[in-house]
Structure 1
Amino acid sequence: MSASTLGSTGVRPEAQAWQDGKRYLWPLALVVPILPYVGFGLWHRFDNALAWYLTPFLVYVMVPIGDWLIGEDAGNPPVEREAQLQSAWYYRVLTFLYLPLQFGSLVLGAWAWSQPHVNLASRVGIVVTVGIVTGIAINTAHELGHKREDVERWLSKIALAPSGYGHFYVEHNRGHHVRVATPEDPASARLGESFYRFWPRTVWGSLKSAWVLETKKHRLRKRSPWTLRNDVLNAWLMTLLLFAALTVWLGVGVLPFLLVQMVFGFSLLEIVNYLEHYGLLRQRTASGRYEKVEPVHSWNSDRLSTNVFLYQLQRHSDHHSYPNRRYQVLRSFDEAPQLPGGYATMIVVALFPPLWRRVMDQRVLDHYDGDALKANLTPKLRAKYEAEAAAAASAGATATARR
């Protein structure tokens, strides 16, 4: 590039003039943890259970509609502006604000649940509403947990406390990011695997992996893993103390609410994990190692509506390539495979396995030019396709011999 095309600062004029068009949309990520307060106010005023369904209505209806009506945004910030964006506190504060809203909604939901006149419809609405806030908080914890600053790392573990998923802090960073898009990763779904089969495999596998990783770390440092310096144990302790405090305050009757919202919350995380790498596989190199993680190993979506509500989680390929990048600078890549809808739409599709397979399986095969053996397959499907390939090779060899 010639000097004449650069400004006096050595930056392209178009880069100097660039503005973040989503700057004032990012606060919409806080709408989800704010809505429970609105629902509580309406319920308290009108005693109508429907008030508690505002949050699920937004997440499962309005955001997907927004994805289709608003469409996609594949724009990336200029390289010259990335450092400025990375250091801007405005974006960081928006993630910090999620936590007090999250914990306030949990306390509010727990108190509402404990009231004697609450009917079944209201109880379902309360637990689903708070479960959604808890689940999306795991995404906030995900954003915070990848950063180098100690305060953000601790805030990540605090955000995970209501979901009881503190081990995610260890497993995601040191397990999933290493093994992503391989059969060894419990958080990478396989072609032909329904969400309902994936759920127990990933929940147990992630927990087990986190404990093994943290135990190895402490063993290498010649100390017992049974210490509060163990990031799995200190994160779980936060959950225990939080639930114990609410139980002492409101009584044991609040425990079903706490446990169900917890399971709902981490299940929301796992259904997102399910769709992020479904069927995608890193190939082995000549040395037998897996190839490095590339944009082709994550399903992405440039649907603007969901990206704003999820801190651009859908630009997942860039996150796996550069985990320390903050959400406001994550990039869209042409080579990254695209989902047919935003995450908000696809988590609903994933709940119906025949529909999911109809929508996604052929996309996976097309991604590998029809070679199913290049995909991350369930053991049953891999055996089937290997048998078919062997039969085809045998038939070919027989035909050649006859000539």
Structure 2
Amino acid sequence: MRYPLAYSVSIVFAAILVGGFYLGGIGHFALPIVAYILIPPVDALCGLSRWPSERRIAEIGPATEWRYRTALVVSGLVSMALLGWALWAASHYTLLWWQFAGLALSIGINAGMTGIVVAHELVHRKEPLTDTLASLIMSTIGYAHYPVEHVYSHHARVGTMEDPVTARRGESVYGFTLRSGFGGLRAGWALEAARLSRAGRPTLSLSNRILRWQLFTILLVAGVALFLGPMSLLLLAAQALIAAFIFESVNYIEHYGLLRKAGPDGRPERIGIQHSWNSSHILTNVGLFNAGRHADHHLEPRRPYYKLRHYEDAPQLPYGYPAMILVAALPPLWFRIMDREIDRLGAGMAG
């Protein structure tokens, strides 16, 4: 994915969201309409992309990498700025219930499709500033545990029954969201407690990265309630729930029904390209920082988004991410499509 496009997606989303709000009427739902009504068919029509080639990847060096990294940071900051503007707007404008619903849905979708995607990429960069921005983004939706859980639990346990973020075959996205949300928190907390124990530090201290950012979430909630009022507080909570559901829906579609087989010693087989659902749809990857190249991400978690490769033999989703999120929201349709795909691949195992 070329970096100018990475910049433009977050800016275009921001323009649609803010412009639609001030336009009024149906404009309050402009972003949801674009994201989940217009983009899915256009994504399908645009087709697939195998870009970048191995030659192109080899050409990306230190002289140009900063542009791709800057695209991430800019998109993350734009997402945070939009949340701040929306919280201010909710306290300064008198909104009818449906106008408020449009604003909450729009901010939640933007957080789920831009902010959290950026945070996911940043937690793998292992740099103080990017780690801070990632934790800040995730804390605005109450997922302070995510940077720890994702890197040290999900990537180690993906495709096993021990991983709360791997969806079982026959499990709906709604049941998965509850299991993954609470299971991820437990897994992240256990890992952080073990790390602090090895260092001789108490779990309940500011050395605990999860606790530290959970306290930030509490301070954010208190600050919004005190300085902006109840409508802004309600918006903060609503967008967090919407963003979290979109985030868990993406987790759901990325590994649904794909489990690693146990070896002779009982340990799961090595992580391979067969353990992630991929999407090489052009708009999906342009808008989501190549999140659809999920197999390569699990093979090499430190590989940056602009170097992720397409694998022809990896399990492929029939549609791009926005469309698959809509399909997942209808469990009977999801099971009909995806269970057939699993059977065709011969990759399914009973959950």
Q: Name which of 216, 223, 234 aligns with 1:256.
A: 234
Shift of 1:288: 1.5
User: What does residue 41 of structure 1 align with?
Assistant: 22
* SS of alignment partner, residue 88 of structure 1: helix
Matched, 1:131 2:108: yes
Matched, 1:70 2:50: no
User: What does residue 182 of structure 1 align with?
Assistant: 160
Structure 1: distance between partners of 2:82 and 2:251: 25
Shift of 1:215: 0.6
The one-letter code sitting in structure 1 at the alignment partner of 2:33 is F
Report if aligned partners of 1:109, 1:126 keep a CA contact under 8 Å in 2: yes
Matched, 1:141 2:124: no
User: What does residue 26 of structure 1 align with?
Assistant: 6
Report if aligned partners of 1:271, 1:347 keep a CA contact under 8 Å in 2: yes
Q: How many residues align?
A: 348
Matched, 1:108 2:85: yes
Q: Name which of 309, 312, 319 aligns with 2:290.
A: 312
Structure 2: distance between partners of 1:245 and 1:51: 29
Structure 2: distance between partners of 1:195 and 1:150: 34
User: What does residue 222 of structure 1 align with?
Assistant: 200
Deviations 1:224-253 (A, max 9, x none): 011222111122122222222222221233
User: What does residue 332 of structure 1 align with?
Assistant: 310
**Who wins on radius of gyration, i.e. which is larger?**
1
Matched, 1:292 2:270: yes
More displaced 10-residue stretch of structure 1: 298-307 or 109-118: 109-118
Q: Name which of 250, 261, 265 aligns with 1:272.
A: 250
Structure 1: distance between partners of 2:211 and 2:59: 35
> In the superposition, relative to structure 1, how do residues 376 and 35 fare at CA in structure 2: closer, same or farther (>3 Å)?
farther
Matched, 1:377 2:318: no
User: What does residue 391 of structure 1 align with?
Assistant: none
Report if aligned partners of 2:76, 2:119 keep a CA contact under 8 Å in 1: no
Percentage of identical aligned residues = 35
Structure 2: distance between partners of 1:376 and 1:122: 45
Deviations 1:12-50 (A, max 9, x none): xxxxxxxx7x343222331334432222332xxxxx232
More displaced 10-residue stretch of structure 1: 135-144 or 247-256: 247-256
* SS of alignment partner, residue 60 of structure 2: helix
> In the superposition, relative to structure 1, how do residues 85 and 245 fare at CA in structure 2: closer, same or farther (>3 Å)?
farther
Query: What TM-score, normalized by structure 1, do the two folds share?
Result: 0.82
Shift of 1:115: 4.1
Report if aligned partners of 1:194, 1:353 keep a CA contact under 8 Å in 2: yes
Structure 1: distance between partners of 2:302 and 2:282: 22
Shift of 1:117: 2.6
Report if aligned partners of 1:145, 1:156 keep a CA contact under 8 Å in 2: yes
Shift of 1:68: 1.2
Structure 2: distance between partners of 1:97 and 1:58: 21
User: What does residue 383 of structure 1 align with?
Assistant: none
Report if aligned partners of 1:113, 1:254 keep a CA contact under 8 Å in 2: yes
Report if aligned partners of 1:135, 1:269 keep a CA contact under 8 Å in 2: yes
User: What does residue 53 of structure 1 align with?
Assistant: 29
The one-letter code sitting in structure 1 at the alignment partner of 2:266 is G
More displaced 10-residue stretch of structure 1: 185-194 or 130-139: 130-139
Unaligned runs of 5+ in 1: 1-19, 43-47, 369-373, 379-403
The one-letter code sitting in structure 2 at the alignment partner of 1:63 is I
* SS of alignment partner, residue 97 of structure 1: helix
* SS of alignment partner, residue 207 of structure 2: coil
Shift of 1:79: 5.0
User: What does residue 400 of structure 1 align with?
Assistant: none
Deviations 1:326-373 (A, max 9, x none): 1111000111000000011100000001110111101111111xxxxx
Structure 1: distance between partners of 2:39 and 2:146: 26
Structure 1: distance between partners of 2:317 and 2:128: 34
The one-letter code sitting in structure 1 at the alignment partner of 2:72 is T
Report if aligned partners of 1:85, 1:328 keep a CA contact under 8 Å in 2: no
More displaced 10-residue stretch of structure 1: 266-275 or 98-107: 98-107
* SS of alignment partner, residue 338 of structure 1: coil
The one-letter code sitting in structure 2 at the alignment partner of 1:106 is L
More displaced 10-residue stretch of structure 1: 274-283 or 153-162: 153-162
Which structure has more relative contact order (CA 8 Å, sep 6+)? It is 2
Structure 2: distance between partners of 1:29 and 1:297: 29
More displaced 10-residue stretch of structure 1: 200-209 or 232-241: 232-241
* SS of alignment partner, residue 163 of structure 1: coil
> In the superposition, relative to structure 1, how do residues 155 and 283 fare at CA in structure 2: closer, same or farther (>3 Å)?
same
Structure 2: distance between partners of 1:263 and 1:211: 21
> In the superposition, relative to structure 1, how do residues 243 and 325 fare at CA in structure 2: closer, same or farther (>3 Å)?
same
Shift of 1:173: 0.6
> In the superposition, relative to structure 1, how do residues 209 and 83 fare at CA in structure 2: closer, same or farther (>3 Å)?
farther
Structure 1: distance between partners of 2:184 and 2:60: 35
Deviations 1:41-69 (A, max 9, x none): 32xxxxx2322211111211222122111
The one-letter code sitting in structure 2 at the alignment partner of 1:64 is P
Shift of 1:193: 0.8
Structure 1: distance between partners of 2:344 and 2:76: 41
